[in-house]
Structure 1
Amino acid sequence: MKRVTPPDPALSGEAAHFRALEALYAAAPINTLFDSTLEIPSAGIARIRFTIHPDVFHAGGAAHGTSYFKMLDDAAFYAANSLVTDRFLLTTAFNLLLTKPLREGPVVAEGRWVSGHRRVFVAEARLVDADGEEAARGTGTFMRSQIPLATLPGYRTA
């Protein structure tokens, strides 16, 4: 089980929002299935460091596409939601391109906001393996939901 570290009460504004999103990621039940950590270094940028283990392999001995999709979607999502402080975004569409099999080991999902400021956001992400090679990329469309971030377990800015 992952340990959720509460945000530093001395933080405020943008930094507090980023730490609260990181805590929200860590608190999501789905993330107990993945050895992963979210980092939001700045607005519109998100990185997820994770490790591929053999328990996510398909019959061909490499990571199943579900791992690719989850990490690409999450990195793009958090890059976009880093720009929205009041509402949880929802994925409305996601396109992905798988270019290389992922084997056991560390991977980084790099997400980047592309466009949108009000209701709909577009962000992209890519997976980079331990050799620095891109294994996949994707682009997502995300829409503001009616769910206030402040009501979600794990999201705490103070």
Structure 2
Amino acid sequence: MTLPDSKPDAEPTGAQAHFRALESLYAAAPINRLFDSVLEIPEGGIARIRFTIDERHFHAGGAAHGTSYFKMLDDAAFYAANSLVTDRFLLTTAFNLLFTKPLGPGPVIAEGRWVSGQRRVFVAEARLIDASGEEAARGTGTFMRSRIPLASLPGYRAG
């Protein structure tokens, strides 16, 4: 029996290339050396960050410090919004955060979703889901187009 030759996967194009380039940009950001995390953008307006909380992220009370909550919520909302913008880097202009449960050590998912805006200002929300499937925090951010071309940023590699 002869198997068909397998061809290498084609390079992503269009929106998929933009999503992969944003994932590369996230991975290249120096701040992400401090967090064991991976961004995935499955479709426009949606972003997920899988990360792990450990004792390095704890405050004196033995749970994750708010900086971890903010960073992951902001990033998930940001990338959900920037997935809809192919030419410019967005900037966070405001972010509101609601803590609902302390995070201990373990895996967490930050889920971001675009809510509104398509020109200059975008609104996106995010939530943190712990390993038991419970929401630990949620946030809403506003983001605006900057003058920074995405293509000029180290790490942004569009196909």
TM range (shorter): over 0.9
Paired residues in the alignment total 151
For residue 77 of structure 2, give the secondary structure of its aligned residue in structure 1. helix
TM-score normalized by the length of structure 1: 0.94
User: Which amino acid in structure 1 is aligned with residue 147 of structure 2?
Assistant: Q
TM-score normalized by the length of structure 2: 0.94
User: Which amino acid in structure 2 is aligned with residue 141 of structure 1?
Assistant: T
Match of 2:5 in 1: none
Runs of 4+ aligned structure 1 residues displaced above 6 Å come to none
Match of 1:103 in 2: 104
Deviation (angstroms), 1:9: 6.8
Match of 1:128 in 2: 129
User: Which amino acid in structure 2 is aligned with residue 71 of structure 1?
Assistant: M
User: Which amino acid in structure 1 is aligned with residue 152 of structure 2?
Assistant: T
- In the TM superposition, 1:59-98 aligns within 5 A as 59-98=60-99
Match of 1:22 in 2: 23
Alpha-carbon distance between aligned partners in 2 of 1:9 and 1:136, rounded to the nearest angstrom: 38
Deviation (angstroms), 1:10: 1.5
Deviations 1:44-98 (A, max 9, x none): 0000000001011000000000000000000000000000000000000000000
Alpha-carbon distance between aligned partners in 2 of 1:128 and 1:113, rounded to the nearest angstrom: 18
Alpha-carbon distance between aligned partners in 1 of 2:42 and 2:148, rounded to the nearest angstrom: 24
Q: Structure 1 residues 80, 9: closer, same or farther in 2, change over 3 A? A: same
Match of 1:4 in 2: none
For residue 78 of structure 1, give the secondary structure of its aligned residue in structure 2. helix
8 Å CA contact retained: 1:44, 1:79:
yes
For residue 48 of structure 1, give the secondary structure of its aligned residue in structure 2. strand
- In the TM superposition, 1:36-47 aligns within 5 A as 36-47=37-48
Alpha-carbon distance between aligned partners in 2 of 1:35 and 1:43, rounded to the nearest angstrom: 24
Gaps of at least 5 residues in structure 1 are: 1-7
Match of 2:58 in 1: 57
For residue 20 of structure 2, give the secondary structure of its aligned residue in structure 1. helix
Q: Quick check: 1:35 aligned with 2:39?
A: no
